[in-house]
Structure 1
Amino acid sequence: MLYRTGLRDLVLIKPIRDGADQLKIVSGYATHTMASWHMTEILDQKQDMIEINLIVGMCRFDGLAISVHNGFKDLVSGNNRAYQSPFTCQYVTEGPPVHSKIYLWEKDGRPFRAYVGSANYTQAAFSPARSELLHDCDPNQAREYYDLIESRTTYCNHAEIEDVIMLKPAHPVLSVEESPSISLSGAGISKVKLSLLTNRGDVGFGSGINWGHRRNRTKRNPNEAYIPLPAKIARSGFFPLERRHFTVLTDDQKQLILRVQQDGDKAITTPQNNSLLGEYLRNRIGVANGAFVTKQDLLNYGRTDVTFYKLDEEQFYMDFSTEKPQLEI
């Protein structure tokens, strides 16, 4: 049967409800933000965690963005995280490039269900805004094809993988230099500045950077944090909505996966673990891990806001430095 709508649930979630426990994917193109979204969606829907094995087929031919490559490696390194499905990622490094897309579900080690079609393993391909087709196919034949392609792959975290595939800058306006800074060419790039303070001009208690500190003594990770997002900016289309994940490259060369969430799209968080953003901000500010952050802490650091530059629909640059980013002329 040919499927045109409802692909996200049909192909990526429903097989779990039917007992499948492992997903093997061959996709010409793929992104770490899709894998992150998929893992988080499984948890949000209270489904059992599964094993995800991804093969990316076109990276040797077309190259791969550094941010995507690093994102895949970070997901692989997080396989012991309680909130993350076990994940492997391999790149086709021998023979012809692979442009096909196949989704093979297994149950107890045996082929269970499979789909083939046009949809890459990306958020864009599985969004309602994109027209894609998938067709169910014989799972045993899908397993044979997956095994054939897998024999020509190398794991994304292999020590020599970066000598085999071509890595590209995360975006044309960014250049990674020898110093631990990223030069930013601001020409034509839209940006927004988001305050870490409340409307009253102070830090929140149980909200914002101190989301994990609750007055009612509710037990939460004290590092939990979000960046407040005003409704006007949320409605402007600057950030992706509908719980889509996006990559943020920071001025100190870190990389985060964020999303907009909460009622009214009022918060920017690290979706796989809400404490990751709080840990990052506390480390930058120079306060203890898990500490309550005061307005004076932010003033001592030199900033009470962060600036986001929109590079594309899934990539942003976040400046939290106390000096202006270096502009290329």
Structure 2
Amino acid sequence: MSRVLLTGGSGYIAAHVLDCLLARGYSVVTTVRSTKKGEQILDSHKQYGKDKLDFVIVEDIMNPGAFDSAVMSDPPFEAVVHCASPYHYNSKTPEEICRLISTAVDGTTGILKAIKAHAPTVKRVVITSSYAAMIDFSKPLTHVYAEEDWNPITSEQAYQNAPFAYLASKTYAEKAAWDFIKDEKPSFTLTTMNPPMVYGPVIHSLSSLESINTSNARFVSLLRGSPSTPCPPTVNYLFVDVRDLALAHVLALEKQGAENQRFLVTAGNYCNAEIVRIIGKEYPEFRDKMPIGEALGSGERPATGVNGYDNSKSIEILGLQYKPLRESVVGFVDSVKEML
């Protein structure tokens, strides 16, 4: 039985990673920011004893040495999955943008430093990065993105607006991780997951839909909309189901060939109008709230002028079989419809 440290266990993606780890027989310790969050996780997994699931408090991942004690365990950890990183578009002032970027970068480098210094038994590290660290707006919309692509965003651009600040935070954090591997030459390998929009069921503790994660916030706005409003623009035409992404994290701990690799983890193209169509078909009670819009195209891609992608590495090395958009939409709506 392998023992894994999972950071940010109360988050949207990490909650699914946790369930996947437990289902596959791992012993897991997850970091949380408060005892309350840790107890909520234990309460929702009462079938597991402390030998299979426990938590440790890391109040602020920006603090120097924040993970030093968290990476030490008896029995010792063999792997670490780092999901704890901010994802929001709320940073407006230069100070807020600076903190967003610093939190992402310092949290990522901080845990790598802690592992090297205090957890010599760790052999594999998996980090949740993002498609945001790949996208390049100077390229045509039809550019086929793959693991070789990097976002060229500059520090000047990062301070222009909140979305650019987020793009910079993910890009700089992942680059810092790979620089650490190159410069420090630790005894563990690194794998990064680079998902686009992440959809699917919400299984972590959620006080209200106002605190929903950023990707799924668009679902809430659609479900609370009206037929008199136009369907909002899609912007990012790639998605992945959160359950597939969680499995990808775990498979990266198990599969030979996954070490020291980036993975573009995506099921392919979609658009907001397709979400509207699926919700209208599957949930008649929400039809009168759906905005105006028609799904694009009918072939492998929705029409033209959308993001290209090459997800072959995730299929060939990790063995992923991706869920279609309908399963992601139904999974999300079923998990939150009682809160609407």
> What TM-score, normalized to structure 1?
0.28
* Structure with larger Rg: 1
Kindly indicate whether structure 1 or structure 2 has the higher relative contact order, using CA contacts under 8 Å at least 6 residues apart. Answer: 2
User: In proportion to residue count, which structure has more strand?
Assistant: 1
User: In proportion to residue count, which structure has more helix?
Assistant: 2
